[in-house]
Amino acid sequence: MKIPPRRSNTLVLLATSAAILLPLSTHAVEFTLSGQVNRLIMAVDNGVADGIVHADNSVSGTRWRIKGQGDIGNDMSAGLYYENQLQSNPSSKVTADSLDSDGSGGNVGKGDFFSVRQANVWIKGNFGKVTIGQGDGAANGSAEVDLSGTTVIQYSGSSADLLGSMEYGTSDVTVGQARSNFDALSRNDNLRYDGASGPISFAGSTGNGSKFELGFGYKVADLQAKIGFWDTGDSTATSISGQAISASWVAASGLNLTAAYGGDDSTGDPSNIYFKVGFKKGDSAYAIDFSETSDRGAADATAISIAWVAKVMKGVEAYASYRVESLDNVAGADDVTALIAGGRVKF
């Protein structure tokens, strides 16, 4: 939905400030409002408790956003990006205690969660793009390049998003504690620069606590890849640096392959590998994936899942998945299994 151009608006003034006080008095900023609702039902069994829960899909949670941009002259434009996540019962917060003995979920997932995902302003020209505010770090997404068409329910980081607070049996270890795709520092308050040359893109960002990230990407019609490097600087008690790389290829037949690797130098030097084989046919996508996180918390954890996603109509997707999460070398650790079905509607 588009909102007609406006001249006097506080958001316009914010974009103006980001444009280094270049005048916008003779120009207009156009805004767009968009978002999505993404809900699922999970039948979960962790070896001790089982039940059915209704939750918000934290792989790509319910959210809304405003984007605005306008021409400021001299072949430059300025704009803003604000996005808020509004989740009722996030899937990542569902615990074994949420699974009632009769299988009814109730108010699971510790209630409602509201968070700001993006709140930034930017200026773009022949020099590239400069962004100030909360947003993706330059290396964010380095472990998540994926052309399979199933990412709404299955990607390199979906273990923690779907079952992050679920315990492996009686081990007191959760999926989120044992699993990570090490996808850089995610969204932070940053100063970020983006540039590109043909199919190659590059970005750098720095934020509070002297954290910094670097990212490099490659993109053509049937192949995408990204590599990222980061360091937490003084933003954590001990500076942690890491790296991630991922690539995805899709053939004209619909066959697609995806792989990713990530890790950091925290205690144990943990790392993660990820592989996916998929197939697209018509409006449907099918895939099977495998991932393993090693040495995170002195344990190794694996996951295997199958997924199906269908585009019902423009902006509407239905999906289903079956997932098995396993933890090795920990007493009392049983597999966590989940049968999942849901849908996402974008506006």
Query: In this predicted structure, what is the pLDDT of residue 114?
Result: 86
Task: Report the chain's mean pLDDT, rounded to a whole number.
Answer: 89
Q: Torsion angle of alpha carbons 124, 125, 130, 133, nearest 10°? A: -20
Q: Please report which confidence band the pLDDT of residue 261 belongs to, taking 50, 70 and 90 as the band edges.
A: very high
For residue range 281-316, list pLDDT tens digits in order: 999 999 999 999 999 987 899 999 999 999 999 999
For residue range 11-42, list pLDDT tens digits in order: 434 444 444 344 444 457 799 999 999 999 99
For residue range 112-135, list pLDDT tens digits in order: 788 899 999 999 999 999 999 999
What residues contact residue 62 under an 8 Å CB cut-off, 6+ apart?
35, 36, 37, 38, 39, 56, 85, 86, 87, 88
Region 152-177 average pLDDT: 96
Q: Please report which confidence band the pLDDT of residue 101 belongs to, taking 50, 70 and 90 as the band edges.
A: very low
Query: In this predicted structure, what is the pLDDT of residue 18?
Result: 44
Residue 201 burial (CB count, 10 A)? 16
For residue range 46-96, list pLDDT tens digits in order: 999 999 999 999 999 999 999 999 999 999 999 999 999 999 889 999 998
Report which of 165, 144, 167, 147 is spatially closest to residue 291, judged by C-alpha positions: 144
Query: In this predicted structure, what is the pLDDT of residue 23?
Result: 44
Task: Check whether 1 has a pLDDT greater than 90.
Answer: no
The H or E element that residue 86 is part of is strand 76-88
For residue range 205-216, list pLDDT tens digits in order: 999 999 999 999
- For the CA atoms of the chain, what is the radius of gyration? 21
Q: Please report which confidence band the pLDDT of residue 105 belongs to, taking 50, 70 and 90 as the band edges.
A: very low
Region 262-274 average pLDDT: 95
Portion of the chain with pLDDT greater than 90, in percent: 80
pTM for this prediction:
0.87
Asked: is 33-65+84-121+135-346 a CATH 3.40.50.300 domain? The reply is no
Query: In this predicted structure, what is the pLDDT of residue 111?
Result: 62
Query: In this predicted structure, what is the pLDDT of residue 186?
Result: 87
Q: Please report which confidence band the pLDDT of residue 347 belongs to, taking 50, 70 and 90 as the band edges.
A: very high
Report which of 59, 25, 193, 183 is spatially closest to residue 120, judged by C-alpha positions: 193
